[in-house]
């Protein structure tokens, strides 16, 4: 169905907005078989789902092309958070503007008396959050007796947030013959149960796969050692320099830590998790909208319902629990025709699991190496040239300063100072501890290791052991630097390695101390290697850097963090 088949005022509103064709979910709800039916829809944020339910309810609202006089609401939209409710209301306002639609909002944290007044003046559509809607219902301000359609937006989120009872009370108070449209990113059992209880003969619509099929989101994955994850994230941010980037973590503690790390490095970053108040949330979102911040670190739940059109990069800093969450998180970018990139940061040991998850979801991801400081600097150069060669408007004051500068310095000096000033605003790329190159499978003995000690740990080739994983692990758990690790020999079931003599004892005791401290690698057992190393021919070798030489970034390698 095209937009031109819609009632005149809605078609006009869409044209005025510049929307030419329906998105997949909009097309699906406008199919003849969906007309007048209850719908259970899985669609991601960014799929155009708000306009989709706005259009789907047109049949219940409009009498031909006109709306009746506003009175008791005909349509009710319930959304989990204040931002989402306000965003939904903004979309419905322009969509129904030409039809003369009156929309009232009932949202926690806003002035309830103003809302009561608006309700008493009559509305066609009410949009609200569950708790506030229930309050108005109980006080008699919200009359649901004329309701023809109820929409539950992000229903899974509302149940997760504990709004089941509020939802049930609201639905129970509305006429049985109403239409119920249930939108949910995921369809866990409690959602299915809710649908069973409150819907009749619902048509199931899923456009999650199709949205992905549009190819607006390029998936990438990179395998790193757990201690290198934050460095890899920093380098990804620096390589892309996205207008807005969203980073997903599994817990609020991890959000807090990554956010602090990014601030420390000079990124404009905000955090969203369950520990933030509504005011903090609003401030964070405002900072992203007006570009004071460009990076948002969030948990899955806290990021729900956020619509940031400039978001072009999603990083799964911690892996999503399943393919559905992966798609839901990634769907924050690549919205409404724009291109986006979603990158999974995968700890080495979990690569196979991630490959299976991607295969299961039929997502083809490109496996990439973590961006190196050299790649980032090359990108910076291109971007700087691009920025500085853009035409600029200069006023008289600028010109006067320019003339004074030119009188005292050469054009080259001035240009270099300008480049330097721009570059100074960019956080430094990181050197990954395990970034010795993919060709490195075995490190061989090197100079400066006389009197070294050999150890073994109980992970080997069968456990995906790889020097790019093992080396950072040894540094982190043993509190030593990359330069203090000598040869690494990976055997089928174990790995042997050499530690500089002077630090061997400290290494072993730090390793044992760091066991069982919640580190996922804390159950790897370490023992001194009795009888020295095995004399097995290395599978492949690499040429190590001279002992302790500063690396390309000018730092000593393996600076402990
Ligand atoms: P939503 O999934 O409702 O959060 O919508 C994501 C964004 O896509 C919103 O900014 C919508 O206004 C926009 N949008 C909705 N429908 C269309 C369409 N048919 N064409 C282009 N953009 C759209």
CATH of residue 449: 3.30.70.330
Same domain, 171 and 60: yes
Q: Which of 16, 25, 51, 304 to mutate to test the pocket of ligand 1 (most atoms within 8 A of CB)?
A: 51
Identify the pLDDT of residue 209. 56
Same domain, 489 and 517: yes
407 CA to centre of ligand 1 in angstroms: 53
72-86, 233-247, 332-346, range with the lowest pLDDT: 332-346
Same domain, 190 and 283: no
Residue 97 counted as domain residue: yes
> Of all helices (H) and strands (E), which one includes residue 367?
strand 366-367
Q: Residue 461 sits in which domain range?
A: 437-528
Lookup result for tokens 């997502």: 363
Last residue of a domain, one of 189, 206, 223: 206
Same domain, 186 and 40: yes
Nearest CA to ligand 1 atom 22: 336
Domain with residue 180: its CATH number is 3.40.50.300
Residue 196 DSSP SS3? helix
Identify the pLDDT of residue 546. 42
Identify the pLDDT of residue 547. 42
Identify the pLDDT of residue 558. 36
Count CB atoms within 10 A of the CB of residue 549: 9
- Ligand 1 contact, 45 CB (< 6 A): yes
Confidence of residue 160 (pLDDT cuts 50, 70, 90): confident
22 CA to centre of ligand 1 in angstroms: 9
DSSP letter at 313 equals: E
Lookup result for tokens 């919205």: 335
Q: Which stretches of 98-163 are DSSP H helices?
A: 112-120, 130-138, 155-160
Confidence of residue 517 (pLDDT cuts 50, 70, 90): low
Confidence of residue 385 (pLDDT cuts 50, 70, 90): very high
Same domain, 405 and 294: no
Residue 479 counted as domain residue: yes
For the residues 446-452, what does the mean pLDDT come to?
68
Same domain, 395 and 282: no
Give pLDDT tens digits for 311-369: 899 999 999 988 888 988 888 887 666 789 999 999 888 888 899 999 888 888 999 99
Last residue of a domain, one of 180, 206, 232: 206
Same domain, 192 and 310: no
Count CB atoms within 10 A of the CB of residue 276: 18
Residue 556 counted as domain residue: no
Same domain, 251 and 278: yes
Side-chain-side CA neighbours of residue 58 (13 Å): 29
Same domain, 365 and 223: yes
- Ligand 1 contact, 47 CB (< 6 A): yes
Count CB atoms within 10 A of the CB of residue 368: 12
Same domain, 392 and 339: no
- Ligand 1 contact, 46 CB (< 6 A): yes
Residue 536 counted as domain residue: no
Same domain, 419 and 487: no
Same domain, 142 and 187: yes
What percentage of the chain reaches a pLDDT higher than 70? 89
53 CA to centre of ligand 1 in angstroms: 12
100-104, 304-308, 361-365, 533-537, range with the lowest pLDDT: 533-537
Q: Please name which of 561, 553, 469, 523 lies closest in space to residue 257, comparing C-alpha atoms.
A: 561
pLDDT over 70 at 425, yes or no = yes
Mean pLDDT over each residue of the chain, to the nearest integer? 86
For the residues 405-431, what does the mean pLDDT come to?
91
Residue 169 counted as domain residue: yes
pLDDT over 60 at 212, yes or no = no
Q: Please name which of 168, 180, 219, 224 lies closest in space to residue 77, comparing C-alpha atoms.
A: 180
Residue 559 counted as domain residue: no
Number of domains comprising the chain = 4
Nearest CA to ligand 1 atom 16: 48
- Dihedral angle sign, alpha carbons of residues 76, 81, 82, 87: negative
pLDDT over 50 at 438, yes or no = no
What percentage of the chain reaches a pLDDT higher than 90? 50
Atom of ligand 1 nearest to the CA of 50: 3
Of 315-324, 436-445, 471-480, highest mean pLDDT: 315-324
Cβ–Cβ < 8 Å for 98, 9: yes
Measure the CA–CA gap between 278 and 269, rounded to whole angstroms: 18
pLDDT over 70 at 155, yes or no = yes
1-5, 26-30, 102-106, 250-254, range with the lowest pLDDT: 1-5
pLDDT over 70 at 214, yes or no = no
């Amino acid at each position: 169905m095209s937009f031109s088949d819609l009632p005149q005022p809605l078609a006009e509103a869409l044209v005025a907005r510049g929307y030419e064709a329906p998105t997949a979910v909009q097309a699906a709800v406008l199919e003849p078989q969906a007309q007048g039916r209850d719908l259970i829809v899985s669609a991601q944020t960014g799929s155009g789902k708000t306009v989709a339910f706005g259009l789907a309810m047109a049949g219940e609202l409009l009498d031909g092309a006109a709306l009746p006089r506003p009175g008791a609401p005909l349509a009710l939209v319930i959304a989990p958070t204040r931002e989402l409710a306000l965003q939904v209301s903004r979309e419905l306002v322009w969509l129904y503007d030409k039809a003369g639609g009156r929309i009232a909002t009932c949202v926690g944290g806003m002035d309830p008396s103003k809302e009561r007044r608006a309700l008493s003046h009559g509305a066609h559509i009410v949009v609200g959050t569950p708790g506030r809607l229930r309050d108005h219902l109980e006080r008699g301000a919200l009359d649901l007796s004329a309701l023809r359609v109820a929409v539950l937006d992000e229903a899974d989120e509302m149940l997760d947030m504990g709004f089941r009872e509020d939802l049930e009370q609201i639905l129970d108070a509305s006429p049985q013959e109403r239409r119920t449209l249930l939108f949910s990113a995921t369809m866990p059992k409690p959602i299915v149960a809710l649908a069973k209880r409150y819907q009749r003969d619902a048509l199931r619509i899923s456009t999650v796969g199709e949205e992905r099929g549009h190819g607006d989101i390029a998936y990438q994955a990179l395998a790193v050692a757990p201690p290198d994850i934050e460095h890899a994230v920093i380098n990804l941010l620096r390589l892309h320099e996205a207008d807005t980037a969203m980073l997903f973590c599994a817990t609020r503690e991890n959000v807090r830590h990554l956010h602090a790390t990014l601030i420390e490095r000079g990124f404009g970053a905000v955090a969203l998790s369950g520990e933030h108040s509504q005011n903090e949330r609003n401030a964070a979102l405002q900072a992203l909208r007006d570009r004071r911040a460009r990076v948002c670190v969030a948990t899955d739940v806290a990021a729900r319902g956020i619509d940031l059109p400039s978001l072009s990069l999603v990083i799964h800093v911690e892996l999503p629990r399943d393919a559905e969450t992966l798609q839901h998180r990634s769907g924050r970018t690549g919205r409404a025709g724009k291109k986006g990139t979603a990158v999974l940061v995968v700890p080495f040991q979990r690569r196979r699991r991630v490959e299976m998850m991607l295969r299961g979801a039929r997502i083809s991801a490109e496996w990439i190496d973590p961006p190196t400081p050299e790649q980032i600097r090359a990108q910076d150069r291109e971007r700087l040239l691009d920025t500085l060669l853009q035409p600029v408007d200069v006023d008289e004051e600028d010109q006067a300063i320019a003339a004074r500068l030119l009188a005292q310095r050469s054009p080259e000096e001035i240009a270099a100072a300008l480049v330097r000033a721009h570059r100074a605003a960019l956080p430094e790329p990181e050197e990954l501890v395990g970034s010795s190159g993919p060709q490195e499978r075995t490190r061989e003995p090197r100079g400066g290791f006389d009197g070294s000690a050999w150890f073994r740990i109980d992970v080997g080739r069968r456990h995906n052991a790889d020097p790019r994983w093992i080396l950072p692990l040894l540094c982190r758990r043993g509190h030593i630097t990359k330069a203090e690790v000598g040869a690494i020999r990976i055997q089928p079931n174990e790995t042997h390695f050499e530690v500089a003599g002077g630090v061997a004892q400290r290494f072993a005791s730090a390793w044992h101390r760091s066991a069982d401290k919640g580190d996922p690698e804390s159950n790897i057992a370490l023992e001194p290697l009795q009888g020295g190393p095995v004399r097995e021919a290395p599978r492949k070798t690499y040429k190590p850097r001279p002992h302790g030489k500063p690396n390309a970034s000018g730092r000593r390698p393996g600076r402990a963090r």
